[in-house]
Amino acid sequence: MGVNLNRCIIMISFTSSFKEPILADIYLHKPNVKWDDIIGLDAAKRLVKEAVVYPIKYPELFTGILSPWKGLLLYGPPGTGKTLLAKAVATECNTTFFNISASTIVSKWRGDSEKLVRVLFELARYHAPSTIFLDELESVMSQRGTAPGGEHEGSRRMKTELLVQMDGLARSDDLVFVLAASNLPWELDPAMLRRLEKRILVDLPSEEARRVMIQHWLPPLSNGSGVKLRTDLDYGLLSQETNGYSGSDIKLVCKEAAMRPVRKIFDALENHQPGNSNLATIELDTITTADFLDVITHTKPSAKNLSQKYTAWQTEFESV
């Protein structure tokens, strides 16, 4: 969706120094992540579609008590697909997408952060239908009054402004949706949680999802890298052995397993062995189940120990 920056300058009465960092975070080019590219996460995909896609596609259905959701929180361990879901929204949904991080709206100058928040929501309303993605929400919306030594006045005002803007969305018919992601939901301010009507756990992948991921990254035969990469893997066994691994963990393990036969190429090329200078003619060793299992022993899951904490928070706060 095109962004007319000149019209923004006319419409909004704030100085350009506040508009520019927000406008820089609009996705002008789609990140090319489709719903089908996301393995598993069916409940999360359904809720995001209900909140963003269907109200635009079938507006006559979303009136009165069925008015669209205004806020959704994706929470869970790092590397489970929260940001990937946001990229799918940016790719698949015909909305202006604001990809906002803490660095965008947190200013060292007193009072500037709350103005940046106001400009963000003004721009989102102007370019509606639009989606505001707030990544690592806990870094901007942690519980008020819990900071060591007291919270800075500017931080409190910024948080208050964000809550006020969320209230404004709830009272309006503007097609503006807030999609937030957090690795530490227990640090979020309760007032913000109340405004994020839907809260869903993006958990570690199931055994079946892990099997699909491993088979995706390490199929029996792959030649997309210029050389043929062959595997002989027991996908069922490996999906069991990777219990507790996130999607990004599994990708890392697969990459390391794939590097093992490739390292032998480096040795041959560096030693200038005859007949090994042409990469296209080199035949790599097959990646075996034993190779994969050996990689696992040296690559530990990044968030397995937090699983119980997420489950406990889910029991108390989830809203699906």
What are φ and ψ of residue 97, in 5° steps?
-115, 120
CATH code, 148: 3.40.50.300
Tell me, yes or no, whether 55 and 197 share the same domain.
yes
Could you tell me whether strands 221-222 and 229-232 are parallel, antiparallel, or unpaired per DSSP bridges? antiparallel
Q: Which amino acid is at 123?
A: L
250 shares its domain with 283: yes
CA–CA distance, 257 with 293 (Å, rounded to integer): 9
Structure tokens at 64: 């009165």
Is the separation of the CB atoms in 129 and 56 below 8 Å?
yes
Distance CA 187, CA 81 (A): 20
Q: Measure the CA–CA gap between 200 and 317, rounded to whole angstroms.
A: 9
Q: Which CATH number belongs to the domain containing residue 229 in this structure?
A: 1.10.8.60
- Read off the amino acid at residue 217: W
pTM equals 0.83
Domain match, 14 and 112 both: yes
Please state, in angstroms and rounded to a whole number, the distance separating the CA atoms of residues 74 and 143.
Answer: 18
Looking at the fold, whether 63 and 146 belong to one and the same domain comes out as yes
Residues 47 and 139 in one domain: yes
Regarding whether 179 and 290 lie in a shared domain, the answer is no
And the tokens for 217?
């990254």
Same domain, 191 and 250: no
Domain that holds residue 12: 5-203+311-317
Residue ranges in the chain modelled with pLDDT below 50? 1-12, 14, 276
Do both 148 and 289 map to the same domain? Answer: no
Do both 84 and 164 map to the same domain?
A: yes
The verdict on 67 and 147 lying in the same domain is: yes
Angle at 287 between CA 284 and CA 293, to 5 degrees: 150
Q: Both 184 and 58 in a single domain?
A: yes
Domains contained in the chain, number:
2
92 and 193 together in one domain: yes
Give the model confidence (pLDDT) of 162-187 as tens digits. Answer: 999 999 988 888 889 999 999 999 99
Could you tell me which of 197, 190, 90, 202 has the C-alpha nearest to residue 138? 190
List the structure tokens of 222: 């792959």
| Residue 205 near residue 39 (C-beta atoms within 8 A) | yes
